[in-house]
Amino acid sequence: MRIAVYIPLLLSLLAPLGARPLAERCEPRLATWLLTASALLLGTATTISLGLLTITGLIRFPQLAGLGHWSAHTAQRDDPAELSVALIAGLLLGAAVLMAARMLWRRARTLATAALEAACMPAEDGLVVIEDEAPNAFAIPGLPGRVVVSTGMLHTLDETERHILLAHERAHLTSRHYAFVALAQLGAAANPLLRPLATAVTYTIERWADESAAAATGDREGVARTVGKAALAAHHASGRTPGAALAILGRRTPLAAAGPVPRRVAALLAPPFGRHPVLAAVTATVLAVTVLSTAEAAHDLHLLLEAVGA
C-alpha cells in the first residue's frame, strides 16, 4: 500500500497529457470509449485511494479504532501513511464525494427535464421543426429522443445539407452520446485533474457524429461543408438554444458549432482516422495498472486491519 495507493493519483496527473492525442489521432468512436473509460475509472480509483488513506488515519484514534475492534497503538506503529497525508486525503475525499454527488443530481435533473421536453414535443419520425429565425439544431434524449431543427436552420441549408445535419443529430441519439459525456464529467467531478479528458469527450462525440453522417451520406466533403456552414449560421444565435438540451451533451453552443469547428472540418477533409493501436494499447495499459494498483492497495489495507485487530 505504501506505493500502490498513490499510483492512481500519479496516473491522474499524467492522463490529461494523452487526451489531445487520443481525440486528434484515433478513430472517434474508439477515442470516445477510451477517454470516457479513462475519466470514469481514474476518477473512481483516485476516490478509492483517498478513502483508503483516510481510513489509515482514522484507525489511529482510539475512539474510532474501538468501533472496529482495532488497536490504535498498533495502527500508529504499522500505518504506512503519515497522519498528515491521511488527513489531507480525508479532506480531498469529502470534496470529491460532494462534487460527484452534486454532478449526479444535476445530471439526473437535466435528463428528466430533457425527457419531459421530448415527450411533450409532437414529432414526425422523431423530427421537431420549430418556428424560429435563429438557425439552430440539436438533439434531446428521451424515450424516444427528438431532433429539433429551427426553420432558420432549414432555410440556411439546401436539401442535401439538411439530410447531413439530420444524420449528424440522429447519430447523437442512437449512439447515446449524452451518456458518454455524463460519465466522463462524473469522473472529472470526482477528480478535477481529469477535466481535459471530459472536455475531449465533448469533442470526440461531435467527431463521431460527423463520421456517422459521412458514412450515411457517403460525402465527407459535404459533411465538412455542412458543419462549417451551420456553425457560421448559428454563431450569433448560440444563446437562444434551450438550456436543457445543451446541458445534456455538455455544450455551450448549438450542436453545429460545438467543438472546435476548424479541427472537425479538417478531419473530415482528410482520410478517416484508424484505430491507432499504439494509443489504444497505452490507454489500456494505464487502465489496467490503475485497476491492479487499486486492488493491491485495498488488499494491503485489509492486511493492515487484520494486523491491528485488537
| pLDDT tens, position by position, 262-290 | 889 989 998 888 778 899 999 999 999 99
Q: Rounded to an integer, what distance in angstroms lies between the CA atom of residue 104 and that of residue 142?
A: 18
pLDDT at 8: 94
pLDDT, one tens digit per residue, over 137-182 is: 888 887 778 888 889 888 888 999 999 999 999 999 999 999 999 9
User: Is 206 within 8 Å of 26 (Cβ atoms)?
Assistant: no
What is the value of pTM for the model shown? 0.83
Q: Rounded to an integer, what distance in angstroms lies between the CA atom of residue 199 and that of residue 41?
A: 16
What are the residues facing 127 on neighbouring strands? 124, 147
Q: Residue 75 above 60 pLDDT?
A: no
Q: Which amino acid is at 228?
A: G
Q: Rounded to an integer, what distance in angstroms lies between the CA atom of residue 224 and that of residue 228?
A: 6
Residue 125 is classified by DSSP as T
Could you give the percent of the chain with pLDDT greater than 70?
Answer: 81
pLDDT at 148: 87
Mean pLDDT of 24-32: 94
The candidate with the shortest Cα–Cα distance to 13, out of 192, 199, 200, is 192
Q: Residue 259 above 80 pLDDT?
A: no
Beta strands at 146-150 and 127-130: parallel, antiparallel or unpaired: parallel
pLDDT, one tens digit per residue, over 286-308 is: 999 999 999 998 887 777 666 65
Q: Which residue has the higher pLDDT, 23 or 72?
A: 23
User: Is 169 within 8 Å of 145 (Cβ atoms)?
Assistant: no
Rg (CA), the chain: 24
pLDDT, one tens digit per residue, over 242-251 is: 444 444 444 4
Q: Residue 194 above 60 pLDDT?
A: yes
pLDDT at 229: 87
User: Is 203 within 8 Å of 32 (Cβ atoms)?
Assistant: no
Burial of 298 (0-12, 13-18, 19+ CB in 10 A): middle
Q: Which residue has the higher pLDDT, 203 or 139?
A: 203
Q: How many domains is the chain partitioned into structurally?
A: 1
Whose cell is 470514469? That residue is: 40
Residue 288: which domain range?
A: 3-308
Mean pLDDT, the chain, rounded, equals: 82
pLDDT at 1: 60
User: Is 286 within 8 Å of 15 (Cβ atoms)?
Assistant: yes
